[in-house]
Structure 1
Amino acid sequence: MSTRNYPELTLRGLRAFVAVEETGSVSDGAKRIGGSSSGVSQQITALEEAVGAKLFDRHSRPLKLTPAGQMLQAHALKILKAVANAQAELSEHNLTDLPKLTLAIIDDLDTSLTPALVTGLQTRFKDCFVNAYSGRSDHIIELLQQRVADICVSANIPEDIAGFHSIPLVREPFILVTAKNLITNKQHILEELEQAPFIHYSEAIPMGRTITQHLKRVRFNVPQKFALEASRSVIALVAQTNGWAITTPLNLLDAERFISEVDVFAVPFPAFSRQLYMISRALELGNLPNHLSEECRHIIENQVIPRFANIVPHMSDVIKIIKS
Structure 2
Amino acid sequence: MAFTLRQLSYFLAIAEGGTVSGAAQSLSVSQSAVTEAIKELETDLGVKLFDRHRRGLRVTHQGQQFQRHAARILSAVADARSSFGDNREAATGSLNVGVTSLVAGYVLSDILARYRRAFPGIVLSANEDNGEYLEHLLVGGELDVAVMVISNLRDRVALQAEIFETSPYRLWLPVGHRLAATEGIAIADIGREPLIMLTVDETEENTGRLLSALGAKPNVAFRTRSVEAVRSLVATGAGIAILPDLVYRPWSLEGDRIVSRSIADPLPVVQVGMVWRRGSGLSEAARDFIALAQSPRLARLRL
What TM-score do the two structures reach when normalised by structure 2? 0.57
Give per-residue Cα distances to partners, 1:268-320, cap 9 Å, x unaligned: 42232121120112333156555433322345799xxxxxxxxxxxxxxxxxx
Q: Do the aligned partners of residues 290 and 99 (structure 1) sit closer, same or farther apart at CA in structure 2, a change above 3 Å counting?
A: closer
Question: Residue 165 in 1 paired to residue 165 in 2?
Answer: no
CA distance in 1, matches of 2:234, 2:147: 28
Please name the residue that 2:142 is paired with: 148
Distance in 2 of aligned mates of 1:106 and 1:163:
19
Q: Classify 1:119/1:228 alpha carbon distance in 2 versus 1 (closer, same or farther; 3 Å).
A: closer
Distance 1:258 1:300 in 2: 33
| 1:112/1:201 CA distance change after superposition, 3 Å | closer
Partner-residue secondary structure (3-state), 2:265 = coil
Cα distance in 2 between the residues matched to 1:147 and 1:255: 40
Q: Deviations over 1:205-232 (max 9, x none)?
A: 4111111110011112232232222222
Matched to 1:117, the amino acid is I
Structure 2 equivalent of residue 111 of structure 1: 105
Task: Indicate if the aligned counterparts of 1:108 and 1:254 stay in contact, CA closer than 8 A.
Answer: no
Name the CA shift for 1:164/1:222 in 2 (closer, same or farther; >3 Å). closer
1:297 to 286, 294, 298: 294
Shift of 1:257: 3.9
Identity of aligned residues (%): 13
What is the CA–CA distance in structure 1 between the aligned matches of 2:149 and 2:101, rounded to whole Å? Answer: 11
> Where does the alignment leave 5 or more consecutive residues of structure 1 unmatched?
1-92, 303-320
1:270 corresponds to = 266
Higher helix fraction (1 or 2): 1
The range that moved more, 157-166 or 172-181, is 157-166
| Corresponding position of 1:128 | 122
In 2, are the aligned partners of 1:116 and 1:299 still within 8 Å (CA)?
no
**Partner residue, 2:171:** 176
By how many angstroms is 1:173 displaced?
0.3
The structure-2 alpha-carbon separation of the partners of 1:254 and 1:205, relative to structure 1 and needing over 3 Å to count, comes to: farther
SS in 2 for 1:161: coil
Whole-angstrom CA distance in 1 between matches of 2:250 and 2:157: 32
CA separation of 1:136 and 1:261: change in aligned 2, threshold 3 A: farther
TM-score, length-scaled by structure 1: 0.54
**C-alpha spacing 1:205/1:107, structure 2 compared with 1 (3 Å):** closer
8 Å Cα contact 2:102/2:201 also seen in 1: no
Q: 2: CA distance between counterparts of 1:246 and 1:299?
A: 27
**1:249–1:155 distance in 2 versus 1, CA, 3 Å:** same
